[in-house]
Amino acid sequence: AEDGYELWLRYHPLAAEQATIYRSHATQLIIGSATPTQTVTREELQRGLGGMLGRAPPLSDAVTSDGAIVVGTPASSPLIARLRLDTKSLGNEGYLIRSIVVNGRAATVIVGNNDIGVLYGAFHFLRLLQTNHPVDHLDLHDSPRVKVRVLDHWDNLDGSVERGYAGASIWDWFKLPDWPAPRYTDYARTNASIGINGVVLNNANANSQILTPTYLEKVAALANVFRPYGIRVYLSARFSAPIELGGLKTADPFDPQVQRWWRTKADEIYKLIPDFGGFLVKANSEGQPGPRDYGRTHADGANMLADVLAPRGGIVMWRTFVYSQANPDDRAKQAYDEFKPLDGHFRANVLLQVKNGPIDFQPREPFSPLFGAMPKTSLMMEFQITKEYLGFATHLVYLGPLYEEVLSADTMAHGKGSTVAKVIDGSLDNHALTGVAGDANVGSDQNWCGSDFNQANWYVLGRMAWNPTQSSRLIAEDWVRMTFTNDQAFVKPVVDMMMGSREAAVDYMTPLGLHHQMGPGHHYGPAPWDASESEADWRPVYYNRADSDGIGFDRSSTGSDAVAQYAPPIAAQFNDVKQTPEELLLWFHHVPWDYRMRSGQTLWYELVAHYTHGVDDVQQMRETWRHLNGYIDPERYQQAAAFLAIQEKEAQWWRDACIAYFQSLSQRPLPPGFSPPQ
Ligand code: GCU
């Protein structure tokens, strides 16, 4: 039975015709096995080709027939060295795949400067077959535009996962280090297939215990599994660990004993894990300890840890998600207010990890104003993969368009074309240390992600971390072909459905720039009326500000002036209600119910129309899916169908609850053409 375990690395037999063609391009496999990475590359090619073509090409030392596949680095293979390929531009992790003639025979070469680049190339080659791409005239080369491409697991040591909707943590701490479950290897293969090269194992709301010798041994066992796949392990560090584990009275970063404690801890870690990646830190946010507890800045805290890790090549990923009711007038301003003044104060091995928007992974937010505002600091992107605010496991919401929208947004920091992607890949301000993090949606569910379609969000995160300028549609197409089928009658409608799914969710949850209307705490389902939370800025009413006059959060110069955090041309645009993109209208402005929208209709009319469209879109998605019965296995087909039914019911719940509540304030009738909620 199909259970989704294989993700997009299914390698099921290809259609006969296709397989015949590919077999003639896979007659021999010439590949070393002198290193662990070479060995896993060989195994992956044998597994993939064997699965798709019915048999893996025999291993060989020399090209003796047309259709050989030659894999390796110039350093490890004299055969490849003799080809004198120009590999300079490939860097450490890049690869080329080329159809060439070797010894008078047609061959395909997969070459990198290092083993890991070759592994990435092998996955790309397999993807070509998985997506039915021709392989007879290949001339491809690729290398990542971003250096640190990590998954952040919000996994707790007790096996629970914060904001996880796919079962318990996959890290089975009780059985580690002695039982490295095969699942860890599959996890590493999966990540390597999309270029993920780092994993933060534990929740940013960190438990200090992860830094004890007992746990570090377990962490080392995982690092051993991941290493051949080019994946480094990182840990979330609790800033007060010197107190909790070291018995010190303080965690003040200026205290020499504190510094010594971290140095000793780092030595201990590197002894067990020589390629340890470094620390992720959530400090002075949502009650977590941090340098500000001692009157120090975020830079003081980050630099202290960075100095400890620098000699070993480690980095610090310091989060800018600070949230402490410090800006009672507008929570959206806090990260910028705290970090912008520190630009230029961070060590070279510090990455500031910035959430895509100023608040918290909403269905739609404007890009964070920190992007472009800290030219002397390396900023990395943090996207959420797990759908905390987007329907958890069941709603079909492909996040590619959300990622793409943020990355292609223009910060105007150095004039037109200063996109967020250029901040993230370091090209805007010439930074060598760059990164993208995705907050993982992986759990111990058989299908890893809570639903088959959620797997696409893991997939697209990896692909966009590798190259932040890629098209989310093309990535979706690859994913559908690899995960389901190459049948165009299936691929096209499913890709279209995925591409529209995020906008549908925006429409039925939080259209026109509304945000944080989810039930407080669990963040599932509508609660725009909710004012029960103790802290004002956890209350949905704080964000919608709906009253009898209108709706929306005034962040213009007449309100919180959050717009002033953007570069002047963007600030001017967002400050003006007429120039603000309507999709962000209520994020930046409090607007009267009868305000005329670009369509000529009133805001009230448009609001109702968006909620209604959202539901219509989900109905359309169900309809699309209904027509696709029979193209894929019944197990996965039926679960997606059942989940779409849940999504439709809940989209209606969102629409009806939100319209009813807002109507109680607007006192406007439902516009003509919209039937009252059933
Ligand atoms: C959100 C989320 C928390 C999480 C936090 C973070 O607020 O609800 O569960 O800890 O983000 O990113 O640190």
In a domain, 580, yes or no: no
Residue 525 in any domain: the answer is: yes
Specify whether 623 is located in the same domain as 645: yes
Look up 583 and say whether it is catalytic. Answer: no
CA-523 nearest atom, ligand 1: 8
pLDDT band at 1 (very low <50, low <70, confident <90, very high): confident
Packing angle, helices 472-483 and 400-407, rounded to 10: 160
**Ligand 1 atom at minimal distance to the Cα of residue 282:** 13
> Per residue in 467-518, pLDDT tens?
999 999 999 999 999 999 999 999 999 999 999 999 999 999 999 999 999 9
**Whether residue 594 sits in one domain with residue 548:** yes
CATH of the domain at 643: 3.90.1330.10
Give the distance (Å) from ligand 1 centre to CA of residue 159: 17
Q: Are residue 64 and residue 168 in the same domain, yes or no?
A: no
The span from the CA of 21 to the CA of 278, in Å, is 46
Q: Answer yes or no: do 406 and 259 share one domain.
A: yes
- Same structural domain for residues 290 and 357? yes
The answer to whether residue 577 sits within a structural domain is no
The helix or strand, by DSSP H or E, that contains position 370, with its residue range, turns out to be none
Ligand 1 geometric centre to CA of 541 (Å): 20
Q: Is the separation of the CB atoms in 335 and 298 below 8 Å?
A: no
Given pLDDT bands bounded at 50, 70 and 90, which one contains residue 538? confident
Among 112, 142, 172, where does a domain finish? 142
Give ligand 1 pocket residues (Cβ under 6 A). Answer: 162-163, 204-205, 282, 321, 360, 388
Decide if pLDDT at 678 tops 60: no
pLDDT tens, residue by residue, 108-129: 999 999 999 999 999 999 999 9
pLDDT in tens, 73-101: 999 999 999 999 999 999 999 999 999 99
Q: Are residues 113 and 184 in the same domain?
A: no
Same domain, 454 and 341: yes
The helix/strand/coil state of 346 is coil
Answer with the one of 142, 170, 199 that is the final residue of a domain: 142
Report the separation in Å between the CA atom of 388 and the middle of ligand 1, taken as the mean of its atom positions.
Answer: 9
Nearest to 119 by CA among 138, 137, 144: 144
pLDDT bucket at 676, cuts 50 / 70 / 90: low
Cα 144 from Cα 212, distance rounded (Å): 34
Range of the domain at 66: 16-142
Same-domain pairing of 521 and 628: yes
Tell me whether residue 463 is in a domain.
yes
- Whether 606 sits among the annotated catalytic residues: the reply is no
How many independent structural domains does the chain possess? 3
CATH number for 317? 3.20.20.80
In a domain, 564, yes or no: no
Please write the tens of the pLDDT for every residue from 417-431. 999 999 999 999 999
- Which atom belonging to ligand 1 lies closest to the Cα atom of 203? 10
Residue 175 maps to a domain: yes
Whether residues 135 and 174 fall in one domain? no
Residues of the chain with pLDDT > 90, as a percent, come to 97
| CATH number (domain holding residue 68) | 3.30.379.10
| Beta bridge partners of residue 319, listed in sequence order | 353
Quickly state the pLDDT bin for 537 (edges 50, 70, 90): confident
The pLDDT confidence band at residue 677, using thresholds 50, 70 and 90, is low
Residue at a domain's end among 110, 142, 174:
142
Task: State the DSSP H helix or E strand holding residue 511, giving kind and residue range, or none if neither.
Answer: none
Q: Do 212 and 313 belong to one domain?
A: yes
Burial string for 98-136 (b: 16+ CB within 10 Å, else e) reads bbeebeebbbbbbbbbbbbbbbbbbbbbbbbbbebeebe
| Residue 472 and residue 324 in one domain | yes
Catalytic-labelled residue, pool 286, 547, 594, 623: 286
Q: Are residues 118 and 78 in the same domain?
A: yes
